[in-house]
Structure 1
Amino acid sequence: MTAPDIFLTGATGYIGGTVLDTLVRERPDYNITAMFRKVPDEFRQKYPKVKIVTGDYDDFETVANAAANANIVVHGGKSKHEGVIKAHIAGLLRRNKPSFFIRLGGTGIIADWKDGNYGELNSKIWSDIDDVATLTSMPDWALHRGVEKIIQEAAETYGNKLKCAIICSSGIYGKGRGLVRTQSLYMPDFFREIIELGAAFYTGSGSNRRSWVHIEDLMQIYLSLVDAAAAGGGKAVWGKEGYYFTVTQETSQLELAIAAGKILKAHGLIETEKPKRVSIDQIRNMCSSSGWAFDGLYTFASNTRAKSDRAQKYLDYVPKQPTVFECMEEDLLSCLQS
């Protein structure tokens, strides 16, 4: 098999940086190009064989030209940036041979943040096989929907030439291996709000549940899809149904709050380990720096429950990493250094 040419964007991020490191370590014969607005310190020393393209997500032609020179594109950066997705697709369609596009998504697409039953259990658990027809026709207000429509329409229109897959990641934990960001989104937000409040917290009954995956288990799915693409498609499913949840476990907000309270109290960072029940308005005002009015409700009061049926069936996905609770102490304490 000829070594594939891979173009990666988002390589300074938590996920994208770990994807890059995984590919370099596990597939040293693959030809990799990464795009940066600013090349990280020590990058050339650590990854001397990785080619570099300088640009950002708004540089349409830069992205498109780099994509056109690759037969596999992996986008591991800003998951809602429509411009870079369009540029990737345009570049891949300039090629004469079938190409592959693997894009980072998220279980925000299934989150019930708009429904208003905050802090309570939603019994719906989504399957990326049984529910794929619904997943690929979600309303426009659903998170990630704008970008997913672009990809799914391209997959339907150019299916013989453009093979697409969406890795719909759940909440992620564990330390990343990139050179810039090595922390997830949830744990730093959770840590900051706990420290400000003086206690771990939940709202309602705290029974709302979130799906989780360790960053290293997530890398299994990335590597399997890249390898399948390098083999011309492999056993993987591509196109509109090429939708992959990454879940290994789920927890309630109350369970997370109880565990975090014990850890942070033991380290003298808060005075009580007992979680505090807070109002919906308090939750609504959390994560305000994101600029999205519903971020606190989505992060701490909603349900995102899913099953990784497709990865288990087609990619032989077997999670191996420790649970979110086993990693929580390291994840929370690492926030002190950021």
Structure 2
Amino acid sequence: MTKIFLTGATGYIGGDALYALTSKYPSYSISALVRSPEKAEQVQAQYPSVRVVVGDLDDSALLEKESADADIVLHTADASDHVGAAKAIAAGLARGHSAANPGYWLHTSGTGILMFKDLDQNRFGEYDEKVYDDWENVDELLNLPDHAFHRNVDRLVLETAKREEGVVKTALVCPPTIYGRGRGPVSQRGRQVYQLAKATLQLQKGPIIGPGRSIWNNIHIHDLSDLYVLLVEAAVGGTGTRTGTETDDREIWGERAYYLTENGEHAWGELARATAKTAAELGLIPEAKAEEIGLEEAQKYGGGEAVTWGLNSRGRARRAAKVVGWVPSRPSLEASLVEVVEGEAARLK
């Protein structure tokens, strides 16, 4: 029986991935890391067959044990930036597996790593033509500056793939702006777009940082979960498929296995205007107005996520389509704005 250790079951990404996996493969043995007994009860109520492990990312001994016992680790809980958790998972997988019985590590990072140039130049709201590629130009992604956001933990994953080649097989999944209603037991809400909608309702106008020309990719949460399922299937099957053809295992796992995930992109200024228009059409603000605001005000209403409204993060997700046949198909971000705005209005009430 396939054994999966999943972190972040009560989060937006991990909760939806848990839903997708249990729906398609109810016979898999899934252990889920949960911070508190109260949240453990929420997970068990929706997924009685899931084994709940109460603990947090600072509990290295627990993480190492669970990783050693699992065939696959799906790490989504604050995964991008917790060094200790990454080291514990790497150690556990290496201890519990061998070349004859490899362990698989699906690590969740984020395309915030691509913001470094704007941040280095203290530049907000400006257009940047640079677009990364996870297939032909994957070496660029593998050699980003060490000070880039998420890079410290990304390096740990990539170094594990090299050091434990054949024993620990890694896939580094890098989502951008995520939207869509999650299907998990606790958190069903994303961040960047949702905070933008919340700020729009509070300010009674769409917030724009600088000229509003900075661009990010986006992906629907259900499409992201589809990729996790496909990677799990590749791990269980020992290979990947694309239209029925076997794919080189070295392109699915290991040092080059860096997966951007996206199904389009948005300019933050245009999205702010579209969000204000949607809110006005729903009768939630008096007019479809969007205006420039300062970073301090943006963070007051949108939290730390608001800074990203002024930064660029652009890439093309080609690897997942080529090696595991991933085809995102859910509604676009623009088509989802009514759901997003209505959800934020309900939360504010």
The answer to whether TM tops 0.5 is yes
1:9-47 alpha-carbon deviations (Å, 9 max, x no partner): 011100000011111001112111111112434432321
Please show how residues 65-76 of structure 1 align to structure 2 within 5 Å: 65-76=65-76
2:129 to 108, 111, 123: 123
1:287 to 286, 299, 304: 299
Distance 1:92 1:199, change over 3 A: same
2:24 to 22, 26, 41: 26
- Secondary structure of the 2:174 match is strand
- Secondary structure of the 1:239 match is coil
Whole-Å separation in 2 of the counterparts to 1:225 and 1:318: 13
Aligned to 2:2: 4
Gaps of 5+ in 1: none
Whole-Å separation in 2 of the counterparts to 1:118 and 1:335: 26
Kept in 1, the 8 Å contact 2:161–2:170? The answer is yes
1:184-239 alpha-carbon deviations (Å, 9 max, x no partner): 01123212322333210223332211101011111121111011111124346111
Whole-Å separation in 1 of the counterparts to 2:167 and 2:71: 11
Whether 1:333 and 2:342 are equivalent positions in the alignment is: yes
Whole-Å separation in 1 of the counterparts to 2:113 and 2:295: 20
Aligned to 1:275: 290
Whole-Å separation in 2 of the counterparts to 1:90 and 1:288: 40
The TM-score, its normalising length taken from structure 1, stands at 0.92
2:223 to 204, 217, 221: 217
2:273 to 254, 258, 264: 258
Kept in 1, the 8 Å contact 2:195–2:303? The answer is no
1:237-272 alpha-carbon deviations (Å, 9 max, x no partner): 111111001110011112211211111122333222
Quote the offset at 1:296 in angstroms.
3.2
Whether 1:50 and 2:50 are equivalent positions in the alignment is: yes
Kept in 1, the 8 Å contact 2:6–2:33? The answer is yes
Whole-Å separation in 1 of the counterparts to 2:344 and 2:176: 20
Kept in 2, the 8 Å contact 1:129–1:310? The answer is yes
Distance 1:83 1:163, change over 3 A: same
Distance 1:116 1:42, change over 3 A: closer
Quote the offset at 1:288 in angstroms.
5.2
- Secondary structure of the 2:265 match is strand
Q: For residue 238 of structure 1, what is the amino acid of its counterpart?
A: W
Aligned to 1:178: 184
Whole-Å separation in 1 of the counterparts to 2:239 and 2:103: 9
Q: For residue 59 of structure 1, what is the amino acid of its counterpart?
A: D
Q: For residue 118 of structure 2, what is the amino acid of its counterpart?
A: W
- Secondary structure of the 2:86 match is helix
- Secondary structure of the 1:6 match is strand
Whole-Å separation in 2 of the counterparts to 1:334 and 1:258: 18
Distance 1:269 1:7, change over 3 A: same
Aligned to 1:100: 104
Kept in 1, the 8 Å contact 2:9–2:34? The answer is yes
Percent identity reads: 33
How many residues of Structure 1 are paired with residues of Structure 2 in the alignment?
330
Worse-superposed segment, 317-326 or 32-41: 32-41
Kept in 2, the 8 Å contact 1:103–1:166? The answer is yes
- The 4+ residue runs of structure 1 with deviation greater than 6 A are none
Worse-superposed segment, 312-321 or 166-175: 312-321
Q: For residue 324 of structure 2, what is the amino acid of its counterpart?
A: L
- Secondary structure of the 2:109 match is strand
Kept in 1, the 8 Å contact 2:5–2:31? The answer is yes
Aligned to 1:80: 81
Kept in 2, the 8 Å contact 1:68–1:95? The answer is yes
Distance 1:138 1:288, change over 3 A: farther
The TM-score, its normalising length taken from structure 2, stands at 0.90
Aligned to 2:195: 189
Q: For residue 89 of structure 1, what is the amino acid of its counterpart?
A: A
1:296-332 alpha-carbon deviations (Å, 9 max, x no partner): 33x2111111111101111112111111011111112
Gaps of 5+ in 2: 241-246
Kept in 2, the 8 Å contact 1:246–1:308? The answer is yes
Quote the offset at 1:137 in angstroms.
1.5
Kept in 2, the 8 Å contact 1:8–1:35? The answer is yes
Kept in 2, the 8 Å contact 1:9–1:16? The answer is yes
Quote the offset at 1:291 in angstroms.
8.1
1:303 to 312, 336, 341: 312
Q: For residue 152 of structure 1, what is the amino acid of its counterpart?
A: L
Kept in 2, the 8 Å contact 1:118–1:301? The answer is yes
